[in-house]
Structure 1
Amino acid sequence: MTDTWQTIARLAGRLEDHSTLPREQRILLQLLKIQEEAGEVAEAVIGAMGQNPRKGHSHTWKDVEAEICDVIVTGMVALTRMNSEAATVFQRHMEGLVARDQNEAEGAAAQ
């Protein structure tokens, strides 16, 4: 994952270098970008299921996977733009998820 976070840092840095907006606005726009990408996931799902009468089957499930990856990358970039220690923040969050999952699994097994 180190290479992934290095790539994310480069992408975030490029975005930072490109913008002249105040930091708070840059972060806000990056957070809105997550929603934009999530909308593209929805569009791809609708297209993969052929549920847009004008477009028919305009996407594949591979397209949906690619759009989900875009959401993930955009979220990682947002976290990096908010906190230079994004990889550590994410790792701690994952450790919390693992602990919660283990606790829930143990609780279910005890019942």
Structure 2
Amino acid sequence: MDEVIWNAARAARAWLDDTNGTDQTELTCRILKLSEEVGEAAGAWIGVLGQNPRKGVTHSRAEVAAELADVVFTALVAIESLGLDARSVVTACAAKVESRITP
């Protein structure tokens, strides 16, 4: 990932720390924020499918991708908020996945 992403995740964490504090309730909210973002991605996909007959098709795949990017970024901020380096955690996760799929 580009350095801009990692720097932005750390900056977002610092901004939230300064604005909202760092107690357990705040950390809980940052983790729960992932559920909100996932819900928005799911809603966008429902909109792509036109699954709600009252609304019809309301979203594009690009909008779904943007919502999924929000999920990813929110996760990076949550990892940083746990006091861990998001880059290291994501790299370890990618290596784990790669080891499962590489013959």
Whether TM exceeds 0.5 here: the answer is yes
Give 3-state SS (helix, strand or coil) of 1:70's partner: helix
Match runs of 1:83-102 below 5 Å: 83-102=83-102
Aligned counterpart, 2:71 = 71
Aligned counterpart, 1:5 = 6
Aligned counterpart, 1:32 = 32
For 2:27 and 2:76, how far apart are their aligned partners in 1? Answer: 12
Question: What is the Cα deviation at residue 74 of structure 1?
Answer: 0.7
Aligned residues: 102
For 1:74 and 1:14, how far apart are their aligned partners in 2? Answer: 13
Question: What is the Cα deviation at residue 44 of structure 1?
Answer: 0.5
Larger Rg: 1
Aligned counterpart, 1:109 = none
Per-residue CA deviation, residues 1-33 of structure 1 (Å, 9 max, x unaligned), is: 32210111111111111104x521111111111
Runs of 4 or more above 3 Å deviation: none
Aligned counterpart, 1:62 = 62
Identify the range of structure 1 (50-59 vs 73-82) with the bigger mean alpha-carbon deviation.
50-59
- TM-score, normalised to structure 1, is 0.82
For 2:61 and 2:91, how far apart are their aligned partners in 1? Answer: 29
For 1:67 and 1:85, how far apart are their aligned partners in 2? Answer: 23
Per-residue CA deviation, residues 28-53 of structure 1 (Å, 9 max, x unaligned), is: 11111101011011110111111112
For 2:18 and 2:54, how far apart are their aligned partners in 1? Answer: 40
